[in-house]
Amino acid sequence: MKHICKTIAATALALTFTLTACSSTIPLKAEGGLYHDAENGVAYAIAPMCYEPQAIGDAYASFKSGSIEVVLYEVEGLDPTDYLTEEYSGASSMFVASDITLPDLAGFAPDTIHMCVQSNSVWEFSTVTDQAEIDEVVRVFMEGESVPYPAKTPNADLRFKFESPDYPGLYYNLVYVDYGDARYLYDRESRRCVEIGDLLREHIDGKIITETTAAETTGQSA
């Protein structure tokens, strides 16, 4: 998984890089809920929150948000006139050309699930590649009853990043929360929350590592 172990840059360093990048980026104009690139004749919309880049390339465009200059980057392997992204922080936005409609999880047709702990960095602790198992997770999530997201602290709060051969360069990210007696998948965009029972438990129980543990075992600082 490409952005695993990517520690968020220090604020001062990010600001310095942003100021440098802005001088060479394509200016976008925010208007009517879209971000217009007059140079290439493209208008971008903000992509659903469930979508993330697998890896980030060079600074490409920028726009003003109040007094702040927001820099957008290429998504590695994808046409920047189709997809752009903010610097990845776990809560960043992607931007997609307004003529592209991104699918729900079923339409995304995933063939891999990257199971991650996410805080200041993202740590993958398990990967699911069995297609029948993945298809059952998708079916239960799409067809199961949607319930309110539990308003309490879970025993485990993970991220499942789905990967698809039909959408290279992108992840479809769902929140997984475990309350001991119940486990849910949650889509931050649609606010769909579905209890999934014991699905995927064998890939999780006894395998979750913390950011500190990962740093100790990989030799990388968190």
| CB-CB contact of 51 with 94 (8 Å) | yes
15 or 114: which leads in pLDDT:
114
Please report the pLDDT score of residue 214 as a whole number: 43
Residue of 140, 129, 127, 120 lying closest to 204 (CA atoms)? 127
pTM of the model: 0.83
115 or 17: which leads in pLDDT:
115
Lowest mean pLDDT among 29-33, 85-89, 174-178: 85-89
When the pLDDT of each residue in the chain is averaged and rounded to a whole number, the result is 86
Cα(167)–Cα(221) distance, rounded to whole angstroms?
Answer: 31
pLDDT in tens, 133-156: 999 999 999 999 999 999 889 998
Lowest mean pLDDT among 15-29, 57-71, 88-102, 104-118: 15-29
Please report the pLDDT score of residue 125 as a whole number: 92
Percent of the chain with pLDDT over 70: 82
Mean pLDDT of 160-186: 96
Mean pLDDT of 103-124: 91
Phi, psi torsion values for 131, nearest 5 degrees: -65, -40
Label residue 2 by pLDDT band (50, 70, 90). Answer: low
Label residue 8 by pLDDT band (50, 70, 90). Answer: very low
Domain ranges of the chain: 11-97, 105-218
Q: Does domain 105-218 have CATH number 1.10.490?
A: no
pLDDT in tens, 199-219: 999 999 877 654 434 443 333
Read off the tokens for 102.
Answer: 């991104």
| CB-CB contact of 158 with 115 (8 Å) | yes
- Beta pairing class for 156-163 and 29-31: unpaired
Mean pLDDT of 98-115: 97
Mean pLDDT of 87-102: 89
